[in-house]
Chains A and B, each alone.
Chain A
Amino acid sequence: MTKHDESEEVSRAIVKIQAGVLAFVCAMIGGIGLFVMTAWLLIKGGPKVGQHLQLLGQYFPGYSVTWKGSLIGFFYGAIVGGIIGWIIGKIYNGIVGIRQH
């Protein structure tokens, strides 16, 4: 029995992603990630705080590298992350479904 055969013996199943769960996880990563990145720059301080990060304001109306902006960023990050996670989950499951049939 080859190693490949043996691993087949352990599990022949293909993972199905729970799109809702992946959306939630990506939302948390996106939201918390943007919040932390913003807060980190604010804590570090300096003459021009977050001059690059605040470019996200182009996509997220109301977002800026401020404490208030960090909360808004959390909201946007979570929304975008959630959408990305959900779409990845749905597309993945769709392709797996097609391939299995």
Chain B
Amino acid sequence: MLEVSIIGAGPAGLTAAYELSKLGLKSTVIEADHQVGGLSRTVNYRGYRFDIGGHRFFSKVPLINELWQEILGEDFLVRPRLSRIHYDGHFFDYPLKAFNALAGLGPVEAFLVGLSYTKAKLFPSEEETTFEQWVSNRFGHRLYRIFFKTYTEKVWGIPCTEISADWAAQRIKNLSLSEAIRNALFGSGRTKNGQIITTLIDNFYYPRLGPGMMWERCKELLAARGHETIHETRVEKIRHRHGRVECIYGKTFSGELVEFGGDHFLSTMPLRELIQALDPAPPEEVLQAAKNLRYRDYLTVVLIVRRETVFPDNWIYIHTPGVKMGRIQNYKNWSPEMVPDPTRTSLGLEYFLWDKDEEWNWSNDRLIELGIRECAQIGLIDPTEIEDGTVVRMKKAYPVYDQKYYENLAILRQYLETFSNLQTIGRNGLHRYNNQDHSMLTGIYAARNIVGEKYDVWSVNTEMEYHEESRVEKTETSKKKVFSKVGDTTLGDRQVPTRIVPATTASHISPDEIIEAVFAKLDPLALGTAVGIVSGLSLFLATIILLLKGGFVVGPNLSLLRHYFLGFRVTWSGAFIGLVEAGIGGFILGYLIAWLRNWGMRAYAFLLKKRAEAEAQRRLLDDV
């Protein structure tokens, strides 16, 4: 039986192990921390649980949704979402709402914001290469400064003038017309196949005891199947020869060096560390590329407040200048069971830093003091209400997309592809700003690749929508990409049991089939011809009926049509003239009806897309 060693027990590593267990392969997961979950772990401090950031469980990948349900079952809660922006002593709705934003800013600022917006619309910046230009062109420079600049710069530590506009535009650009219509007509909570998932707008899934619960449970399931997870062992050396990894060496907390063998190896280590751990060392160019990768670090100051309710939000974006924290999480609002005492609230103040920043090395007490001071400064709490606090530091939480990252990544990827039994997965394994679901998907792909599938894990990213995931079939003669849907039973996914849907509500028609039918086009030529034939024949028949009936004056009223049909008379020759002219008139009428109807439907579709784009723009902070 093939054996696989997996470095890292985060979502990608554990999902890979889980998938391997389904495929009947043995795996061992090696984790540096004493807990599983990686960035998605839940830290427990005196019974108070908190995330490393907030982890909404939301995916448009049906396979991942099924997997979450399979692992957690009834412990997977649907939770309401509320998040707002704090700026200058006011709370603003998020996503941004025009009236709420203007009312909160006050009349003078609202007027200036209006002027700035008008200016942006009338005289937009022709050059749109930076994040600042992109947002300013859409919201006006003043709103950009208030609602986007401060937070974005806090998170990424880079001036918005140095962040590429592509990064902001990506999400909007990727809204396809069909997707916009699907979301508008069926809600954003449906996949292409019509499967219902919770909507991003109002609700999200969340494990009862935090995201770590998902991964603790996953570890238990793996253990029950005989797959080991080894803790507190940091991989320090990866020995390889002739394009194959032979074994990896991990150092335990007690300093003992442990060797792990295997036929295949999966790594979720940050690429920089992975490359540096390779023995023998890679070429200098590869080492340099790895060294050039940058990471943003993250630090949470957790405060335990002696108050039942502090604010109703799951989290608040802090845009107020003059405070360092970027976001405040209220873990109790993610799940009530995140706190052991309902009369207390635990807040997570999030700081985004470089490890060279002085705050990164501050003592916990000093950081807690900073957190208390800043919370009091923005009016959220009274410092005397703070009962306790702690600090959690997370290095390399965010891979940074600087101007050289893609170039560096290409070098590393090219080098890593020379190994026949090593794959890198997960956010840091791919140096990609993936969400949890996409990291999991890379784990599934890598596991399947081991049994002979040909998935490209590097193609999984946050831009994939409705997830017809790319699956690369590398044939002998060509490297042609063949696309197939993940979630197809043909790919061997284990399907979870589902309830029988009552016949009255069951629909075998997918949203896409409905959209295809509703937005189907009328053929103008065919409708024009049909209406033309019927019109011409109708006038012809109406004329000859009168002619056949005869009389003193035949058809004096019908002959008034000559005002419209030149040469028409209620005569035999007039009947044929009427046939031709009414036929032409009918054709034009039918053609126009079909054309107008098609144009109307297309206009409606683009209107839906515009609305979706505006909505996505209002939710831009979700992607920051």
Contacts and interface: CB of A to CB of B under 8 A. Distances in A.
Nearest to B606: A3
Interface string B495-524: 000000000000000000001111111110
Given A15-B520, A92-B523, A95-B523, A6 B176 contact: yes
Interface string A53-66: 00100110000000
A9 to B, nearest CB: 5
A14 B523 contact: yes
A92 B538 contact: no
Nearest to B521: A14
A9 B606 CA distance: 12
Contacts of A10: 177-178, 181, 515-516, 519, 605
A13 B516 CA distance: 7
Contacts of B538: 84
Interface in A4-50: 6-7, 9-15
A91 B545 CA distance: 24
Nearest to A97: B526
Contact of B177 (A9, A95, A96): A9
B534 interface: yes
B527 A92 contact: yes
B367 interface: no
B170 to A, nearest CB: 15
A13 B527 CA distance: 15
Contacts of A14: 520-523
Contacts of B516: 10-13
Contacts, number: 78
A54 B529 CA distance: 31
A91 B521 contact: no
A95 B529 CA distance: 8
Contact of A58 (B515, B521, B549, B605): B549
Given A15-B523, A58-B549, A95-B523, A7 B605 contact: yes
Contacts of B546: 58
Per DSSP, chain A at the interface is helix
A3 to B, nearest CB: 7
Given A88-B531, A91-B534, A95-B529, A6 B521 contact: no
Nearest to A93: B526
Contact of A7 (B517, B527, B602): B602
B510 to A, nearest CB: 13
Given A3-B606, A91-B529, A92-B530, A11 B521 contact: yes
B177 A6 contact: yes
Contacts of B176: 6, 9
B489 interface: no
Nearest to A5: B177
Given A3-B606, A7-B605, A13 B534 contact: no
Contacts of A3: 602, 606
Interface residues of B, number: 30
Given A11-B516, A91-B530, A58 B178 contact: no
B146 interface: no
A3 B93 CA distance: 33
Interface in B171-204: 176-178, 181
Contacts of A55: 557
Given A10-B181, A13-B521, A99 B526 contact: yes
B337 to A, nearest CB: 44
A52 interface: yes
A87 interface: yes
B525 interface: yes
A59 B557 CA distance: 13
A93 B523 CA distance: 9
Which among B177, B525, B557 has the greatest number of chain A C-beta atoms within 10 A?
Answer: B177
A25 to B, nearest CB: 14
Nearest to A88: B530
Given A7-B602, A91-B530, A95-B530, A15 B522 contact: yes
B383 to A, nearest CB: 55
Which among A10, A13, A59, A93 has the greatest number of chain B C-beta atoms within 10 A?
Answer: A10
Interface in B294-329: none
Contacts of A52: 557
Given A3-B606, A55-B557, A59-B542, A13 B520 contact: yes
B515 A96 contact: no
Contacts of B605: 7, 10
Nearest to A11: B519
A58 B544 CA distance: 12
A88 B535 CA distance: 10
B532 to A, nearest CB: 9
A13 B530 contact: no
Contacts of B530: 87-89, 91-92, 95
A87 B525 CA distance: 16
Contacts of B529: 91-92, 95
A7 B177 CA distance: 7
A91 B520 contact: no
Contacts of A91: 526, 529-530, 533-534
Nearest to A6: B177
Contacts of B602: 3, 7
A88 B517 CA distance: 20
Contacts of B527: 88, 92
Contacts of B521: 11, 13-15
Interface of B: 176-178, 181, 515-523, 525-527, 529-531, 533-534, 538, 542, 545-546, 549, 557, 602, 605-606
Given A10-B177, A58-B549, 14 more contacts: A6-B177, A10-B515, A11-B521, A15-B520, A15-B521, A55-B557, A84-B534, A84-B538, A87-B530, A88-B527, A88-B534, A92-B530, A95-B525, A96-B526
Q: Can you list the 9 inter-chain pairs with the closest CB atoms, starting with the nearest?
A: A13-B520, A95-B526, A91-B530, A11-B519, A92-B530, A6-B177, A88-B530, A15-B520, A92-B526
18 contacts: A6-B176, A6-B177, A7-B605, A9-B176, A10-B177, A11-B516, A11-B520, A11-B521, A13-B517, A14-B522, A15-B520, A15-B522, A87-B530, A88-B527, A88-B530, A89-B530, A92-B529, A99-B523
